[in-house]
Every structure is written in structure tokens, then in C-alpha cells.
Amino acid sequence: MDQAGRMPRRSRGTFWSSLHLRILSLALILACIATFSFLLILHHAHPDEETNPGRSVGKGGEPFFVDRRMPFDEDPENTQIALRRIIFRQLEMVNPDSGAESQGVVQRGHLEYSESEHDNRAIPSVLTPRSEAIPCDQECESFRDFWNSWPKDKPRAAFYYLTRTSRLNYFRKSIASVEKYFNGEFRYPIIVFHEEEFTPQRSNVRQMTSAPVFFQKVEFRLPDFLDKPVLENIPCLSRISYRHMCRFHSKGVYQHPMIQMLDYHWRLDDDSVLLSPVNYDVFEFMQSRGLQYGYIWIHLDAYSCTEGLWEATEDFIRIFNVTPTFYNEWFRPRLFYNNFEISKVSLWLSPSYTAYVDYLDRLGGIYYHRWGDAPIKGLAVSMFLPKTQTHFFKDVGYRHGSFVNNASVPSAPSQYLNKPDHMRF
């Protein structure tokens, strides 16, 4: 320092250069953090196989490895021919006299187009498969009778579950939460689909709720049309029984006469739990606003479980001349987390959805790749419904596994509420 207390020139230079250096380093560190966070967010919103080739966890908690194999054939032309064959087989099944297949060329003149009540996208009605008639048994008949005394202005709606005796403990908690937080007041009936004998458990379940409960036994088996062996070990780890369940929720349940009697259903899994009071009638809410699909979360499936599904949907759109609504935003492997699903039944009975799910079913992807009911139905919603007819039930407190929609305390920190990208689309 000189007498005036100034720093010597050299020291000042060193000071400034070290200050510059510090600022520069800090800026560099901040830039690195920002880039890293941005990439992380980007990756989370749309994970990419190439940047994420490792192990992850799929819907159902199973680990999976990413797999880039082509869904049907390496040669896209062969894939096209295979798809057309499947469609023609459908045509023959529905209309044996259609004579639709001729030298492997699509003859569009043979297809009749119709507009459904629910959307105006052109889907050939001739492709609607004949419903495999499920007889209405005694329980089903009493369900039919039940509606005779139902108020005319109240939507015909019901909860439905698929469960197993081994899951009775979960199921009881679910039923109890529904009773406590919603149905004690609104009294919508509950349909319980089950595979094994459930008679001894019936009274126990009925005691837990003031709403009428109807039981229906279902049988799962591999469809006859599958022409390749269904393997236990596939890249998307899942038991074959789990794949039966996916087929049931996407297709089989809508062939059931009890579901066909409804305007709306609220699907829950036996491990679904309501967490807080729902003080309004969600079905009337849907009806009065013209809503068709209510969901609790938008999530991502495992890549290996959607192998070929988006490609098959692209083909469906092209071959069937579908004009999708918001499908272009519905990137692989998005899904509605549909263990909670409040929806209009007529959507799932529409010719559009019936054609789509039957088409996918016949490709066999549910069994060969474990195409889940959630991605299948999500894709259907993104093709056939305007976004304005979907609704995010953010005010319903709900838990399924580790997922929590903590609506009772909206300001409380919740890992899911803090991910707005998963809540909006």
C-alpha cells in the first residue's frame, strides 16, 4: 500500500484478475448446474432409450431393460402386409361374405363408414367385432333390477374392481376408504370381478359398505387366434396372468352385460385408497360438464412394455383413416394412471374404440409384449376424445402403491404435486 492507502498497481491487478477468475468460475459452475438440471428435466419428461439404456422400473414395479427391436418384422413392407392380413381376417370374421381380401390389396370400397354417437371420426363399422355374448346370470339380473328404482336424474354409474382372494386385505381397505370418503353419501353400486371362488368372502365385503355389491366370476384364458407361443419371459417382465388382467381391463370388461348397463364407471384397483372426503358427486360432475375421461395422474410406462404399440397405433390411424384429436402430443410411453379411472362407458363401447382394441388384441401385443390397458386406453383417449372432455381430478385424495395425490392438504409437499409436467398435457 502507498501512503494514500491505495493498493500497489501490481497487487490491484492480481486482485482484479483473481476476482474475474472467481466470477468466471462461478458463472461456469452455475451454467453447468443449469444445463444438467435442464437435461434431467427433459429426460424425465420424455426419457429416451438412447440416453437411458439401463435398468428402470415399469408399471407394476417390475424391472425392465430397454429394447429397440422392431415390433413385427424388420421389413416395414412385410409388417404392412401382416397388418393387412390381420384386418382382413377381422373383416372375414365379422362379415364372411365381404370378400375383402384380394391379392393383398386393401379394397376400401368394401368398408362401410359410420359416425358414432360419441365422435365423428370415421371408423369402418363393419370392423366392429361381434360381441362375445356373456350371459347375464342371477347376480347380473339383480343388477338390472337394481336400476329400476334408481332416480331418473342420477347417472347410472358404478365402481368396478377386479380382485383376487389373496388380495382381500388390500381390497377391504379400498372398499372401506370408498365408503368413508364418498360412497357413504352417494351409494353407487360396486361390481367385483373375481377369478376364483369368492362366495365365502362376499358377506364380509358387503358388511363393509352401505352400497349394494354385485359379484361376477370371470375366466381368463389365452385367445385362440394367437399363432405364436406366449412366453413367460419377455423383456417386459410380467406374468401371463398380469397380461390377462390387462386384456380384461382394456377389452373384456366392456363385453360384460353389467358394465354395458352403465353410463359411467369408476375403476379402482384393490390397492387403490381414497384419502380424503370427496364432497360432490363425481359422476354428476362428469355428466353436467360433458366429460368422458377423468384421471388422477399422467405417468410413463416402461419402454419394453410398449414395444410396437405406438407403431401399431400409427398403422391403425393410417389404415382406418382416423383423424386423431391430441394423439400427436401423446408420446411413447405415456399413459393415464388408470388404476383410478372415472369414465363414460359409451366411449369404450363406441365403434372407434371397439375397432381399435380388437385390432390391437389380434396383433397379440398384449401377450407378446405386455401392452397394458393403461397405454392402450390412453392412446384411445388421445385419438378419439377432445382434450376438453378429459378431466384431471386433482382434488381427490388418492393413493396407489407409492403414488399419492395429496389433495386434502394441497399446500403440503408432495413429490407428485411438484411435478406439474405429469399433471398437465
Ligand X SMILES: Nc1nc2c(ncn2[C@@H]2O[C@H](COP(=O)(O)OP(=O)(O)OP(=O)(O)O)[C@@H](O)[C@H]2O)c(=O)[nH]1
CB of 375 to ligand X, least distance (A): 11
Q: Would you call 1 exposed, middle or buried from its count of C-beta atoms within 10 A (0-12, 13-18, 19+)?
A: exposed
Would you state the cell numbers that stand for residue 160, as one nine-digit string? Answer: 368396478
CB of 273 to Mg ion, least distance (A): 11
Residue with the shortest CB distance to ligand X: 241
Q: Report what 270 binds from ligand X, Mg ion, none; CB cut-off 5-8 Å by kind.
A: ligand X
Would you state the cell numbers that stand for residue 359, as one nine-digit string? Answer: 385390432
Residue number, 87 or 205, with CB nearest to Mg ion: 205
Residue number, 337 or 356, with CB nearest to Mg ion: 337
CB of 163 to Mg ion, least distance (A): 10
Nearest to 215 by CA among 228, 230, 196, 202: 202
* Annotated catalytic residue, options 179, 307, 311, 341: 341
Would you state the cell numbers that stand for residue 46, as one nine-digit string? Answer: 420424455
Residue number, 137 or 271, with CB nearest to Mg ion: 271
CB of 378 to ligand X, least distance (A): 14
Contacts with ligand X by CB under 6 A lie at: 59-61, 161-164, 167, 194-195, 241-242, 244-245, 269-271, 339, 401
Residue number, 171 or 384, with CB nearest to ligand X: 171
Residue bearing cell 375383402: 100
Please, what is the angle between helix 373-384 and helix 351-363, to 10°? 140
Active-site residue 185, yes or no? no
- Cα separation of 210 and 190, whole Å? 10
Residue number, 72 or 171, with CB nearest to Mg ion: 171
Q: Binding string to Mg ion for residues 234 to 273, with x set by CB under 5 A, is what?
A: -----------------------------------x-x--
CB of 137 to ligand X, least distance (A): 17
Residue bearing cell 375421461: 293
Would you state the cell numbers that stand for residue 207, as one nine-digit string? Answer: 358388511
> DSSP for 64-111?
EE-----SS-SSHHHHHHHHHHHHHHHHHHH-TT----BTTB--GGG-
Q: Binding string to Mg ion for residues 270 to 289, with x set by CB under 5 A, is what?
A: -x------------------
CB of 209 to ligand X, least distance (A): 17
Nearest to 309 by CA among 258, 382, 242, 409: 382
Residue number, 25 or 166, with CB nearest to ligand X: 166
Q: How big is the CA angle at 341 (ends 315 and 402), to the nearest 5 degrees?
A: 105
- Cα separation of 313 and 309, whole Å? 6
Q: Would you call 110 exposed, middle or buried from its count of C-beta atoms within 10 A (0-12, 13-18, 19+)?
A: middle
Q: Give the residue ranges of DSSP H helices in 272-419.
A: 282-288, 309-319, 345-349, 351-363, 365-368, 373-384
Active site residues per annotation: 341
Binding site for Mg ion (CB under 5 A): 269, 271
